[in-house]
Structure 1
């Protein structure tokens, strides 16, 4: 076995593009390239997916380090090569061919004591950086401007709407002209409320210039009781004709509202791509409400969506984001048998936090941003009841599981799905998945036994250990390669 590390599109000291090829032994590839021998340790690399609390033994991808022997200075030239951020591919060459084991990007290169260390990071690390946002410049010169002042909102993150929002408090960006903003990307404000009472819509502006130069008519009091007034809109802005008498809230819809389209838009803003097949899968699950008002990472936003739909997300070997719903493991691509397994352990036989099957699933759906109890007298009792609660709950219960496992727990999902009906569909699906036995297993095998296994693929275990003599299908949710010791550790769920 020979370990191979390839780094694409690096730049040499003259600025020319070069491909770097290193090997742990003598190797010439089918294209005739001779790889430079020098890999001392191929490193330890981990890949995984995020699946919220449904698959508790899954863990995110990580990074590793490959070291090169440089006692004779053969790799000193790498100090003048720019390779940070470039794609790096770790592969294993055997008599059966070359199998890609891990793909990521170069983080840094270090030189010390006759060793060159190349630290590789997983593509997910780019998504753990702050999600791209804009901030208010604080440059208003009264009475003009849409950026606030340094004395109020200057320097704060602008709100950004993905999907829908309901009963959200917009940001006052121009106090003199009563202009508010709910999103720094295009959306449609569909309703404005003052203390729970819906205000009259007076039309759409054609431009930001019109927004600043022309206010809506003030309107009239009804029976001399506020709230009163009218409002107009332009993209993510609204302008009032009369100061609000109480809490101002809005309802708005973004350009994308279905779950897959929302995730794709978030990924795109971060320079990433969600696989087109997965967009359609997620879209079938319903609409999302995602109003971002503070600095957060892109990964956190993707997490919220995966949790909302009872699903998962990860990055595949091509750097594309993959996402979907968790399903029972089927169609294994490989069967591991006793002679191939070095170690095996089972952590749980249920998806609950106590290691037991789940007896009930509660999905918190239909979220609103601001809860209110102090409302105007004209607000109906039904609306009062809705505005008192941040979410509505959809519940699915398995009496059979609760009878078999009296200690079966409840799985609670905080969802951004827009309706309780959509939440109920998730609750039913997740309950069917988790109310039965689900084993969490860790298996250590030789790399040559399963080098081609990937996250999200099916694996079948057949071994007398742990009662798997008849075989059981699992989903691969974690994969750790210890290249130095030629070991592969698989985290399995099923």
Structure 2
């Protein structure tokens, strides 16, 4: 066996070079020789990370690797840039090269005739701040969606991952009442609220069965043209409109996947085509007008304002009917202004070119009138195939933003845990975001090479994947007989779920009592309990999970999976074996361990959750539970 180290570096002239070292003679398939300089191989530790739920999961690490420099021939490295550069530790054995660890160099030091590379696990790079854009503050009102220098300049732009509810969006244009809840292009606004009241342009007129394509809608203000994408409030499927709104009917291109109840809300996804359309304004007020005025002068604009249209002004919440259409630069309202409007105030024409109450483009939305109270919204991630809100897909979105690949089979497994959302509106590390999602579903992740692998926590399989006999074990130790933080079984799991981002104590009086109470509490809660465990183990504990899962059914499944794992004896053990006894290290696999001292004479099935490789001693320490 030969240990190999490759490091991608920049030389003294800033040119990219690959450094290659080994602990024996080796030339790769491309004819590149490795310098036999490795004096002490790194101690590689690959331990799964579960986001902090259980103490047995610690995360991966790698120690220092030392190169012999007693002859000074590596002194040239002092002029090389290696910090933060990719590094790979591999082994050549039996004619095959296997990557042991893929990460980066933390630092390079010299000591006692050695050049020492301190290596960092790929997982450690997740500890960097997750990439978030900031507002430029460059608006020249009424134009712009970057805020002004004295408002939000320098603040981070929020991001939505998955299904997020009741967020407080950022007001990016105060003149046009444009808000932003996500800077990602894959975001769709699904609902907007004013002081807890849902603002909606249309509602379904009559209950609809699965497969229906003809949709009757109550009269609204605004258009639903052919080609528009729409969603219903009772499920998260996006439909394309085949025939636009006419005589109170729209025709969908495909039948309903879920039955829709009468009065369900109907929203147009991405009403605006782009950010230019989002900022388009028909007219501005020309001069100051006092409360009670019915005659309002407007500056020349594009389009007509005709009798019967409805208009609003950017300065206040009222909507007015037009008695006499635009003529000679003046419109006559049916009723007098309830508040004064000033010169340059925006005039919103609520006709076929504007949504009645709000319209969106990606993570932006625009209101037609000044809100009464606090503005909040719901949003969801989408792609060309539909919504993206399953747990594994959300993890993949987060990983993709920082250049990591997630194993597709792991994504599918974690998706089985259900729907969730992660809203990011302040500085956070990718590790914090990743861990929160993983802890929400009681799963774990680890790195193999440069790829992230995912698993849901599960009891040992009924049939083992491999065995270790007593005579093969160098040493074995047991650190716990339960998964509680005190090493005992857990008698109850309490799961908080269905997170809302903005808790509201002050809510409009017309809000339903259920929704009023819901907006006052950040989470709902479900609990699994086995009182017999507490009787047997009086010191057993309650495990609390603050989960991002959205639906109670998903939480019920989580508790049904987790309680049988945590309420019984679960040994947490470390087994040291000769390295040649372990041919593969598949985290999540089930092994059967035979050991008389720990009472495993008949064999005990345990799940592999990590390993430590010490090539200096030729040993592997396996970390297991079960």
- TM-score above 0.5: yes
Q: How does 1:180-195 map to 2 (within 5 A)?
A: 180-186=179-185, 187-195=187-195
User: Counterpart of 1:148?
Assistant: 147
Q: How does 1:334-413 map to 2 (within 5 A)?
A: 334-413=466-545
CA contact (8 A) 1:350 1:356 kept: yes
Query: Alignment partner for residue 312 of structure 1, among 444, 464, 475?
Result: 444
User: Counterpart of 1:326?
Assistant: 457
Deviation sequence 1:60-100 (CA, Å, 0-9, x none): 1112211111111233344466655234123275x898765
Q: Distance in 1 between matches of 2:357 and 2:29?
A: 72
Deviation sequence 1:123-156 (CA, Å, 0-9, x none): 1122211111111111122332111123221111
Q: Distance in 2 between matches of 1:339 and 1:31?
A: 42
| 1:122 to partner: Cα distance | 1.0
Deviation sequence 1:138-190 (CA, Å, 0-9, x none): 11223321111232211111110011221111111112222111111132212
Query: Alignment partner for residue 319 of structure 2, among 220, 236, 247?
Result: 220
Q: Distance in 2 between matches of 1:185 and 1:214?
A: 25
Q: Distance in 1 between matches of 2:397 and 2:96?
A: 39
| 1:360 to partner: Cα distance | 1.7
User: Counterpart of 1:21?
Assistant: 21
| 1:117 to partner: Cα distance | 1.1
**Structure 1 counterpart SS, 2:592:** strand
Query: Alignment partner for residue 244 of structure 1, among 350, 364, 371?
Result: 371
Calculate the aligned-residue CA RMSD, in Å: 2.9
Query: Alignment partner for residue 274 of structure 2, among 187, 193, 207?
Result: 207
**Structure 2 counterpart SS, 1:213:** coil
**Structure 1 counterpart SS, 2:580:** helix
**Structure 2 counterpart SS, 1:472:** strand
Query: Alignment partner for residue 359 of structure 2, among 227, 232, 251?
Result: 232
Query: Alignment partner for residue 467 of structure 1, among 599, 602, 605?
Result: 599
CA contact (8 A) 2:20 2:33 kept: no
User: Counterpart of 2:162?
Assistant: 163
**Structure 2 unaligned runs (5+)?**
202-221, 223-267, 283-309, 313-317, 321-336, 339-355, 383-387
User: Counterpart of 2:582?
Assistant: 450
Q: Which of 468-477 and 156-165 deviates more?
A: 468-477
**Structure 1 counterpart SS, 2:508:** coil
Task: State the structure with more CA Rg.
Answer: 2
Q: Distance in 1 between matches of 2:100 and 2:127?
A: 23
Q: Distance in 2 between matches of 1:9 and 1:38?
A: 17
Query: Alignment partner for residue 426 of structure 1, among 547, 552, 558?
Result: 558
- Give TM-score scaled by structure 1 length: 0.89
Distance 1:353 1:82, change over 3 A: closer
Q: Which of 107-116 and 126-135 deviates more?
A: 107-116
**Structure 2 counterpart SS, 1:290:** strand
Q: Which of 35-44 and 104-113 deviates more?
A: 104-113
| 1:103 to partner: Cα distance | 3.6
Distance 1:92 1:329, change over 3 A: farther
Q: Distance in 1 between matches of 2:560 and 2:107?
A: 46
More helix by share: 1
**Structure 1 unaligned runs (5+)?**
none
Distance 1:16 1:404, change over 3 A: closer
CA contact (8 A) 2:195 2:375 kept: yes
**Structure 2 counterpart SS, 1:383:** helix
Q: Which of 448-457 and 259-268 deviates more?
A: 448-457
CA contact (8 A) 1:51 1:313 kept: yes
